[in-house]
Amino acid sequence: MVAGLLFFSIFGPYLAPHSLTSALETQYTNGKVLAPPLEPFESTSYPLGTDKWGYDLFSMILNGLRYTVFIAAAVTMIKMAFGAIIGLYAGTLKRTPGWLIAFENAWSYVPLFLILYFFLAPISFNSSLKQNVLIAYFIVIASIISIPSIVSSVRLKTAELYKSVYVEAAKALGAGKHRVIWKHIFPQLKETFLVMFILEIVYVIALMGQLALLNIFVGGTIMRFDPIIYLSATKELSGLVGQARLNIYGNTHILVAPLAVLLYTTVSFSLLANGLKNRFQSNYQRTPWIRTGHEPFIQPSRKQYGRKKKFWSFSAQKAAFSALVIAFAGAGIYVIAAKDANIGVKSGSRADYNIDLKMNGDGYFTANANIQVKNQSNKEWEELVFYFIPNVFAEGHTFDSVEGTSEAVIGKVTVNGQKASFKLKGDTLTIKLKPEMKDKSRHNVKIEYGFTVPDKGSRFSKVDTNYYLAQWYPMAAVYQKGKWNKEPYMEGLETFHTGFSNFKVSYKLPKGYTLASTADKDPAEGKNEGNIKAKKVRDFFIAVMKDMEVHETEARDGVKIRLFSKSNHDKDPEASLTLAKNALTFYQDHIGDYPHEQLDIVLDDGQFMEYPGIVTINPYGDDKRFYDISIVHEIAHQYFYGVVANDPYNNAWIDEGITEFATSMYFYAGQNQAERQAFGLSHFRMEAIEEAGLGRHYSNVPVNEVKHSGYIYGQPALEILKMIQEKYTLKGESPKEVGMQFLSDYYQNFRYKEVDTKEFISYTKDYFSVPTGYFNNWIDTSKLNS
């Protein structure tokens, strides 16, 4: 029973189905209206029901149990440590002072919870002190006022043992007081101390319960007005019982659920103490002919000097305990792993790539792609679907942003060594699976193809003698919700949705070319063949360049930054490199570790674009402010796109809006610019929308429904800023501090996960304690359950 309590105390928060700030909102589901307070088992999502405000009782209990158990254990350890030491020495005094006996007798009649009440009442209600400070304050005060009772008990037991014959013999042989206490008396009291320790835990829990009846909750009491209610800040079990005690005549489950767990906790420790006490009496029974109600289980044995002690001697008890420890640890690891696996949007597929790429002197590329596609879903696949974007720029294309054309040819396709039929339409490559291939969980796909690169393209582009290979290989689509999540290519915002993959690329280029790529370790300048690789990236970009100046610097943690540039523009490469270093270092310090070993920045004609480990920046524009913002923006994308993933077709705002917010926060918090200046681009976008008379428009729409890019970039950035300005006091001292902390926590929570609008709102609701309706101004929340 106690092992179960300890397990749920440690791993309870991971098992909780809801967060402490997630409240059930009235909803109509399967022909039934669900509204708080829910009764137990009325909904499978809320097994113990909810309180009057819609908070899940089961989640509150799982989160609060750890406070009950560990705070009680902490108080007990402190008072037992000090009380035992003082009691041991006090028990060896030749004559116990009369004042000490009088104090012990008087103190035993003092109700300790009243003393605690007067200490805690002034600081507990809507306290400005942090939660951990209030908990520490309780632990210290409760420990100090409980020490006298421990001293009294230990002193009496020590005084009795001090009169024993073996103690007298030890003293006669010259043993000092310290040796007598620690070598002769303390070993005799170890079992007593253990039983006492467990019983004192029960006593501390009872003390917390008594305080809860006076609305003093450990960790702080949140007091609400109109009407006046008292809430536990920590959701500690006694606090849950105390705040729910008025539900005894109605909605009794709100009181009964935490009360039952609290009683279970105290009974478990009481039974453990009683069991240990009986076990110790039985094990050390020396007079089996006297009936005491306990049959001897283990007979004491004399210590055999000179005999080597075995490191491990097998016994049934040790084997059972070892099995319990292994099961405990294994279950804990499973719980944490399962919790992590439940974060983010699930993908039913994964692809890893091994590609051989060659370029001839005429700029024609040939490639052999070996792609391992793994089925992680519970569905049987009929086909495999890939993006093959080079095909959409064939002669006759209608994309205004691409001046030239490309030629893309797929030669041979095999799946698991067998020739496979395929269909290529637009940027969609569909490979049919033969019947004998359908039930396989992994498919080895080999595709032989060739392509040219269009002049002055969008991302996949040739600029003079430089080739920028973006989305140049067959990219496996993501399998989600029983289908391949593949949308047609569009101009402007990205439309391809890929998962995290590992890449190995071998290449061979004409002499004179330099390669820069997503890989962490690119070849030396001028090396025209070799092997490169990258792990856990969503895309693999390659720049094949000639006659480019290279500038280098280093950010924090040894991250190498390289800037490739021509000399035919007015932007200062060294100033750009310094800006990139400052921005990356700022994000490393305030968001998290940069996910790659190097960052490459390519200044050339084309789009401002991010790829894992490398970005492209157009230096030929006249707007220097936009140029600087773009460098920071694309670096921020290394975190929010490169590591925190999203579906760029259906949830483009997830990475673009949050990246614009992170970009503005660099200038706002990192460079101390005025808010209006730091978020100037976002304001400019929204003002352009207003001037165009476009009106209100949600951000979470597919890219084919976006009326203006400001809804994807500027609106989310400004709305997140507004939320932080209104709610920052819940998390910190200033909007700047809380804004960066939010980005860091968001990044750490969703590293190498995919986020959609539902996941973002769920996380942010919990983070800032806001309802779903808080987002209705800019997010269509009616789509969250679709």
DSSP 105-173: HHHTTS-HHHHHHHHHHHHHBT-SS-HHHHHHHHHHHHHHHHHHHHHHHHHHHHHHHHTSHHHHHHHHT
pLDDT at 290: 46
pLDDT at 742: 96
613 Cβ partners below 8 Å, 6+ apart?
517, 518, 519, 520, 534, 537, 541, 596, 598, 599, 600, 638, 642
Cβ–Cβ < 8 Å for 346, 326? no
Q: Which amino acid is at 772?
A: T
User: Counting beta carbons within 10 angstroms of the beta carbon of residue 692, is it exposed (0 to 12), middle (13 to 18) or buried (19 or more)?
Assistant: exposed
**Does 350-511 carry CATH code 2.60.40?**
yes
Domain boundaries, the chain: 2-301+318-335, 350-511
246 Cβ partners below 8 Å, 6+ apart?
none
Domains 2-301+318-335 and 350-511 share a fold: no
For residue 44, report the phi and psi dihedrals to the nearest 5 degrees.
-65, -20
691 Cβ partners below 8 Å, 6+ apart?
none
pLDDT along the chain (786 residues), means of 10: 83 84 76 84 88 89 92 94 91 84 83 90 90 92 92 89 85 85 87 90 92 91 85 91 88 92 92 83 55 51 57 68 78 73 86 96 95 92 95 92 93 92 95 81 94 93 95 96 92 90 96 92 85 95 94 94 94 96 97 95 93 95 94 97 95 96 97 96 95 92 93 96 93 94 96 94 90 91 74
Rg (CA), the chain: 34
Topology of domain 2-301+318-335, CATH: MetI-like fold (1.10.3720)
pLDDT at 295: 54
Sign of CA dihedral 183, 187, 190, 193: negative
pTM (2 d.p.):
0.81
188 Cβ partners below 8 Å, 6+ apart?
161
Distance in angstroms (rounded) separating the CA atoms of residues 777 and 761: 13
Distance in angstroms (rounded) separating the CA atoms of residues 682 and 464: 34
Cβ–Cβ < 8 Å for 290, 274? no
pLDDT at 310: 60
Structure tokens at 484: 């391949």
For residue 548, report the phi and psi dihedrals to the nearest 5 degrees.
-110, 140
pLDDT at 280: 75
Find, among 501, 163, 481, 493, the residue nearest to 352 by Cα: 501
CA-to-CA separations, 411 to 369, 416, 425, 505, in angstroms, rounded: 12, 17, 15, 19
pLDDT at 484: 95
Find, among 162, 302, 138, the residue nearest to 221 by Cα: 138
